[in-house]
Amino acid sequence: MGFDSGFDSGLDLAFDLEAHRGGRALLPENTLPAFANALSMGVDTLELDVGVTADGEVVVSHERGLNPDLARDASGAYVPPPGTPFVKLPFAEVRTYDVGEIRPDSR
């Protein structure tokens, strides 16, 4: 009786090239420009996380709320730690924040 590993050595092995958070080292993570850039580089899989706002809208974000190292309000000020959870904010308010620049003194 032989052992069947389930592996067929005659198949081509494929490598799944993923872009974590859309390629977070290249462009602001979890943004449409980051996802588009990753796809233009030949990425097979876009990895992302989602959250839900107070009014039930789905938002793309690794964190469960506004990240103080990324989120700036309309005046350009970074949000104070620990950041407000998305579940406490309506979608319209979430859209007013800019997450395109890392806070200069961020670790």
Encoding tokens for residue 36?
């588009």
Global pTM value: 0.72
Q: What is residue 11's predicted lDDT score, i.e. its pLDDT?
A: 56
For the residues 18-47, what does the mean pLDDT come to?
89
DSSP string, 39-54: HHTT-SEEE--EEE-T
Within 10 Å of residue 8's Cβ, how many Cβ atoms? Answer: 6
Cα–Cα distance measured from residue 51 to residue 98, given in angstroms and rounded to the nearest whole number: 17
Encoding tokens for residue 37?
């850039």
51 compared with 62, residue with greater pLDDT? 51
Which of the residue ranges 6-10, 15-19, 72-76, 85-89 would you say has the lowest mean pLDDT? 6-10
The pLDDT of residue 76 is above 70: yes
Tell me the range of 5-14, 26-35, 59-68 where mean pLDDT is highest: 59-68
Residue recorded with tokens 């406490």:
88
